[in-house]
Amino acid sequence: MRHLERHRAGRGGWLRAAVLGANDGIVSTASLVLGVAAADGTSGAVLTAGLAGLVGGALSMAAGEYVSVSSQRDLEQADLERERKELEVSPDSELAELTGLYEAKGLEPQLARQVAEALSKKDALAVHAREELNLDLDALAQPVQAAAVSALSFAAGSGLALAAMVFSPASVQLPVTLVAATVALALLGGWSASLGGNAVRPAVIRVVLGGVLAMGLTMGVGRLFGVSL
């Protein structure tokens, strides 16, 4: 029976965008509404600030991801185009280079040559991209996908924080929102670490501490300026 191993590298692009988007959505919107509420803002002001943060943040995350991943995609395409031209102009040199790479990995010269020739006949660009550039032609950067995932995940995280504030009783809005955001950050940190194959506890601690610090400082600023004004 053929054994199929689980590899997580292919998840890198969308997972990174999803985690960053959701994390930013929770922290930024929770901090925003907590700050406004701590400054004795009205329920209308809190809702307006939260909605503005949700929409503006989601669009900002989408634009930032699109620009960043587009730049990565441009670099990948430039590298691939250069490799494609080299294969057209000097295929023998490229074959020798590929053979050398396999020799460096421990294959005997004759076997390395046979492997290089066999793989090159199937798809020379794909094998050179993988071995020389560490690029998988089926997993190149996807700017539109990254932008969409980032925006949607930010909106989800932001919506959770906003809902916790809006739908909780006025007397406990601040602690309920703070607890809800903290729990959501802990779950997000654990989920992303689990999917990435990393230790869960350090990831949860890291995410929660950063989020709580941001929310606490924003509440303090809101309280300070609310009292001052």
Task: Please write the tens of the pLDDT for every residue from 117-156.
Answer: 999 998 899 999 999 888 888 888 889 999 999 999 999 9
> Element (H or E) spanning 199, and its range?
none
Tell me how far apart the alpha carbons of residues 57 and 76 are, in angstroms, rounded to a whole number: 28
Confidence at 227, pLDDT banded by 50, 70, 90:
low
pLDDT digits (tens, 9 = 90+) for 70-110: 999 999 999 999 999 999 999 999 999 999 999 999 999 89
The answer, yes or no, to whether residue 8 has pLDDT greater than 70, is no
Q: With the CA atoms of 131, 132, 137 and 140 taken in that order, what torsion angle do they form, in degrees rounded to the nearest 10?
A: 120
DSSP tag of 10 = G
3 pLDDT exceeds 60?
no
| Cβ-contact 180, 164 below 8 angstroms | yes
pTM of the model: 0.80
- From the CB of residue 159, how many other CB atoms can be counted at a distance below 10 Å? 17
Burial of 135 (0-12, 13-18, 19+ CB in 10 A): buried
pLDDT, the chain, mean: 88
- Give the residue from 89, 58, 216 showing the smallest Cα distance to 151: 58
Q: How far apart are CA 84 and CA 52, in angstroms?
A: 47
Which residues does 28 contact at the CB level (< 8 Å), separation at least 6? 53, 57, 158
Cα diameter, the chain: 80
Bin 145: left if φ > 0, else alpha if -120 < ψ < 50, else beta: alpha
